Structure 1
Amino acid sequence: MLAVFENKIANPPEELSLPFKGSGNLKIREQIAALVSSGRADLTRFAFSNGDFMALSHQDEHATCPRSSVVIDDIFCIFNGYLHNTCDLRRTYGLSRQATEAMVVVEAYKVLRDRAPYPADQVIKDLDGKFSFILFDSKATKLFLARHDRDGSAEIHWGVSADGCLVCSDDAEIVRKRCGDRYTPFPPGCLFKSEEGLISFDHPLNEVRGIVRVEEEGCSSAVIFQVDLYTQRYSIPRKGSDANWASVSVGEGD
């Protein structure tokens, strides 16, 4: 799966846009679209009027981590992985027995957007399984990403292209070749909403920060995202030391 969204919609973390060592061969959105379209015969592509797009291919798909997509009420979702509690969630959201995981995610998002009195992290916690997804609400122009696995079975990677667009894919090579070294694994146990930023499921009240690795020559070479247990969101007073971190990253994805 692959998605490319312009900066003003995606609003990616600023750490992804840093000029890392080896990031000189970046592509722009149009180049990425052309490269992806030319190599996959089974490609399903959703193109938006501003040039952004989402794409799905079953090439190199693992049986234990299938990909699927759905479009409902101008909400586009690409889902990678599986849910254990699909039957329960269908009943919760009043869906038919034929509803797929991607349909469940869209319905969960709609409830969250329109009616839910609980936060986004609780919605994702209710989805029991190993998965990642990319969801775009074209009417509200909102992007929603999430990754719920701990063993790397449903990875998603993100980076920033030459023209500042956010690039997301479950294939690390796709992001690396389009974004140079200006990419990193999306941290497991986290969600990203374009209007709220990166949030941890396990520590929803704490900030998730990008930590930049600096080589001996002083060049930035990579970034990983970690929970800062001493910095809380929503302007709650800061406590403790900046040096205390709880990692939610699986590494650099190499």
Structure 2
Amino acid sequence: MFAVFGEKIANPPQELSLPFKGSGNLKTREEVAALIGSGRSDLTMYKFCHGDFMALSHQDEHATCPRSSVVIDDIFCMFNGYLHNTCDLRRTYGLSRQATEAMVVVEAYKVLRDRAPYPVDQVIKELDGKFSFILYDSKDTKLFLARDRDGSAELHWGVAADGCLVCSDDPKLVRKSCGDRYTPFPPGCLFKSEEGLISFDHPLNKVRGIVREDDEGYSSAVIFQVDLFTRRLSIPCRGSDANWASVTVIEGD
């Protein structure tokens, strides 16, 4: 699965845009699209405004980590992996027995967006399995990513030459597109374009990008991890817009 979104929609973490030493081979959004389409006869691509797109191919798919996609109410979701508790989640969200994992994720997102009075991390915690997914709400122009807490399913992201965010379960593709401005998506985390990274297990702690430097002082890599010494305080909100509002961050020792 692949997704490329411009800076205004994706709002990628600043750490992914640092001037890494190996950033000279970055590709543009158009070049990334050509790279993804090369040699993939079964590619399904969803194109959006300003050249943004999502794409799915079953090439090199692992039997233990299948890919699927769904489009419901202008919400596009690509899912990689499986859920152990799909049956329970179908009952929770009133879905049929034919509902796939991608459908379950879309329904969970819709509940969070429209009706849920509880934090998003509580809902994602209910997903038990080996998974990663990319979801885009084209009406609200919001991007939503997540990966299981064990990092069992691949998900990588990076920033291309024109500042767009590149996401995929194929690390080689992200590396070719973004040079050294890429890194694995942190396990046990979700990313919302308007709020940034949030940890499932430590939702009140910030997730920071730790930048590594080589002997010459150049940034060589960035790894995201939970900062147990910096707290973020969620303010209870009401209404559909408020449920996705930004949190107030309080930093301390």
TM range (shorter): over 0.9
What is the alpha-carbon distance in structure 2 between the residues aligned to residue 149 and residue 194 of structure 1?
A: 20
Structure 1 residue runs of 4 or more that deviate by more than 6 Å after TM superposition: none
Give the residue type in structure 1 aligned to 2:44.
T
Q: Which residue does the alignment assign to 1:112?
A: 112
Give the residue type in structure 1 aligned to 2:170.
D
Q: CA deviation at 1:39?
A: 1.8
Sort the Cα spacing of 1:220 and 1:88 in 2 relative to 1 into closer, same or farther, 3 A.
same
Q: Which residue does the alignment assign to 1:221?
A: 220
Q: Which residue does the alignment assign to 2:186?
A: 187
Q: Which residue does the alignment assign to 2:177?
A: 178
Q: For residues 2-151 of structure 1, what are the structure 2 equivalents within 5 Å?
A: 2-150=2-150
Q: State whether residues 15 and 212 of structure 1, in contact with CA within 8 Å, keep that contact through their aligned partners in structure 2.
A: yes
What is the alpha-carbon distance in structure 2 between the residues aligned to residue 112 and residue 52 of structure 1?
A: 24
Classify the secondary structure of the residue corresponding to 2:23: coil
What is the alpha-carbon distance in structure 2 between the residues aligned to residue 207 and residue 123 of structure 1?
A: 19
Sort the Cα spacing of 1:58 and 1:149 in 2 relative to 1 into closer, same or farther, 3 A.
farther
Task: Give the TM-score taking structure 2 as reference length.
Answer: 0.92
Give the residue type in structure 1 aligned to 2:214.
E
Counterpart check, 1:156 vs 2:155: yes
Give the residue type in structure 2 aligned to 1:174.
L
Identify unmatched segments of 5+ residues in structure 2: 234-247
Give the residue type in structure 1 aligned to 2:162.
D
Q: CA deviation at 1:237?
A: 4.6
What is the alpha-carbon distance in structure 2 between the residues aligned to residue 110 and residue 36 of structure 1?
A: 29
Q: CA deviation at 1:82?
A: 0.3
Q: Which residue does the alignment assign to 2:231?
A: 232
Q: CA deviation at 1:238?
A: 3.6
Give the residue type in structure 2 aligned to 1:9.
I
What is the alpha-carbon distance in structure 1 between the residues aligned to residue 113 and residue 128 of structure 2?
A: 20
What is the alpha-carbon distance in structure 2 between the residues aligned to residue 74 and residue 211 of structure 1?
A: 36
What is the alpha-carbon distance in structure 1 between the residues aligned to residue 152 and residue 147 of structure 2?
A: 10
Q: CA deviation at 1:37?
A: 1.5
Q: CA deviation at 1:236?
A: 5.9
What is the alpha-carbon distance in structure 2 between the residues aligned to residue 64 and residue 217 of structure 1?
A: 42
